[in-house]
């Protein structure tokens, strides 16, 4: 006579890590590129590949320039091996979480620098002309009655700008374009490091999805997603208002001898911050769930969750990773200046708050899917 003995249940240590295959493949690619870049920086420091490693990073201050890039290469190579093992479903969840924490701490926080924040500023500011142009085109296209008035306003604005601001605009363009081209290697490096850290943070979140404590925490975040999103949306406001003051006779935190071209650059930077406010509020507004009617091609369609989550999560990672180097950069300031700096550039709050807002958006949309209901369209038709 035979007896059936129940198979032993898998412990948390034995259970293989579950993560989306696409996310694992992206982590393999990012970690491999970072490992190659770190090894190149360590073996040929004078080659200045992609502008060299970021300056004054927490890892550099802790281990020195060579130790920092060597550690980056080694930890990233470990990430490649771990992600490949996870693809074959042979990596236990605790091991994946440990490796993910190492990637975030080294590639994300450890290699963060002041250039991390300047990259965000450049990209947001340079996006504004395209955003404004798209809005004007869509208003003219969508609302025939407004075509003549809007076209007239645009022509008058362009003529006035050319007449009164032409020289300043040319000076600004003459400075910005070469500066942006010169910063492309730094921007590329920053985006790669942020992407590596963000992908591993996302892998850790995916691996924890089945954990009871993490699920309860995610549910609480979803319930409080509105206040969390409002906090995240308020974070760019101090910087936006300070840069907007450059257009007044009382510019705040401005260099001496403020020229008109610099004042206009302040306006561009401020507009990028206002764009960040609006996009963050989209996580709790109807048009964050269904595209507004005036948008081309996708008008009225449901917004895929990834369309909001991927950029939102990337920006949250960028600001979170910038928080430590920002605090390090303020170490020589007076107490009053440090307080002003922390309020003007609140990466320490902005990044985590935005990450929680994005997580609340994910939970809200998944709750809708489980209930089998379409996203709220109230206000979408009016948009």
237: its two tokens: 């406001």
Q: pLDDT tens digit string along 57-69?
A: 899 999 999 999 9
pLDDT at 383: 41
Q: pLDDT tens digit string along 8-57?
A: 544 555 555 667 899 999 999 999 999 999 999 999 887 778 778 888 88
Residue with tokens 């340079």: 126
CA distance 97 to 18: 11
CA distance 51 to 136: 38
Write the burial class of residue 15 (CB in 10 Å: 0-12 exposed, 13-18 middle, 19+ buried): middle
Counting residues of the chain whose pLDDT is more than 70, the rounded percentage is 91
pLDDT at 235: 95
CA distance 323 to 62: 16
Write the burial class of residue 190 (CB in 10 Å: 0-12 exposed, 13-18 middle, 19+ buried): buried
Average pLDDT for the chain:
84
Other CB atoms within 10 Å distance of the CB of residue 64: 11
Q: Which residues of the chain have pLDDT under 70?
A: 1-18, 161, 163-166, 373-383
Look up the pTM and report it: 0.83
């Amino acid at each position: 006579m035979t007896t059936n003995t129940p198979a032993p249940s898998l412990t948390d240590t034995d259970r293989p890590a579950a993560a989306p295959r696409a996310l694992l493949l992206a982590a393999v690619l990012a970690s491999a590129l970072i490992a190659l870049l770190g090894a190149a920086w360590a073996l040929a420091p004078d080659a200045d590949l992609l502008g060299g490693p970021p300056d004054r990073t927490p890892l550099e201050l802790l281990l020195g320039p060579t130790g920092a890039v060597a550690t980056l290469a080694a930890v990233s190579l470990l990430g490649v091996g771990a992600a490949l093992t996870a693809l074959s479903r042979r990596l236990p969840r605790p091991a994946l979480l440990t490796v993910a924490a190492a990637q975030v701490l080294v590639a994300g926080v450890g290699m963060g620098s002041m250039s991390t924040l300047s990259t965000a500023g450049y990209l947001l500011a340079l996006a504004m002309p395209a955003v404004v142009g798209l809005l004007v085109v869509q208003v003219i296209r969508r609302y025939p009655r407004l075509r003549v008035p809007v076209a007239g306003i645009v022509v008058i604005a362009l003529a006035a700008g050319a007449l009164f601001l032409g020289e300043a605009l040319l000076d600004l363009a003459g400075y910005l374009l070469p500066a942006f081209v010169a910063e492309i290697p730094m921007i590329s490096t920053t985006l790669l490091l942020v992407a590596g850290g963000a992908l591993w943070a996302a892998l850790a979140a995916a691996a924890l999805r089945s954990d009871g404590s993490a699920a309860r925490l995610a549910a609480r975040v979803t319930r409080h997603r509105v206040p969390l999103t409002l906090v995240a949306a308020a974070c760019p406001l101090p910087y936006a208002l300070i840069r907007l003051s450059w257009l007044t006779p009382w510019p705040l935190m401005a260099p001496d001898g403020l020229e008109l071209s610099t004042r206009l650059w302040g306006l561009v930077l401020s507009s990028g911050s206002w764009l960040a406010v609006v996009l963050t509020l989209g996580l709790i507004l109807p048009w964050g769930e269904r595209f507004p009617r005036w948008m081309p091609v996708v008008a009225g369609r449901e917004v895929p969750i990834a369309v909001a989550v991927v950029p939102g999560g990337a920006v949250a990672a960028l600001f979170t990773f910038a928080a430590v180097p920002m605090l390090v950069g303020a170490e020589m300031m007076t107490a009053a200046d440090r307080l002003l700096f922390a309020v003007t550039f609140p990466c320490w709050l902005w990044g985590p708050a935005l990450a929680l807002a994005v997580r609340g958006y994910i939970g809200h949309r998944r709750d809708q899917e489980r209930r089998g209901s379409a996203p709220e369209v109230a206000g979408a038709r009016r948009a």
